[in-house]
Structure 1
Amino acid sequence: MAELYSKSRTKWACRRGMLELDVLLGPFVDDAYDALSESDKLVFQRLLAEEDPDLFAWFMGHKTCSDAELNTMVKLILDRVRV
């Protein structure tokens, strides 16, 4: 099993090249990361390994991620933002 990154390292990985992604990912780590299960934290880290243009397209609704786990994480993040 992959080793989980520390929260601070995960927060650092949320710093992207696009402001739109920064304002979604950083606050999610601050507010919701600790409540995720270990498996969901691994999915979130997999999400962070994706390319910025793909993340942007998924979060903006231009495309749907074909990976079901990543797609569920995208929806979870968007739901947290809309609250």
Structure 2
Amino acid sequence: NGHGTHVAGTIAANDQHGGISGVAPEANLLIVKVRGGEDGSGDYEWIINGINYAVEQEADIISMTLGGPAHVPELKEAV
């Protein structure tokens, strides 16, 4: 719920307009939303699909902040 936007800015913000630079201002970001509920909730399948999509797009790094109550072998396999 906005956390990903904050993290993306910390990573890739650039100072082209007199702002602040992130830690990797020349990075290219692939933004993939994997949780859709207004409260940040979602389904493990959405997360798995997002990881698989990022891998298919040849992302070098995937950053996610998640938590959940269940052990999901398919999620472990995707990671």
Q: Which has the higher helix share?
A: 1
Bigger radius of gyration: 2
State the TM-score, normalizing by the size of structure 1: 0.34
- Greater relative contact order (Cα < 8 A, sep 6+): 1
State the TM-score, normalizing by the size of structure 2: 0.35
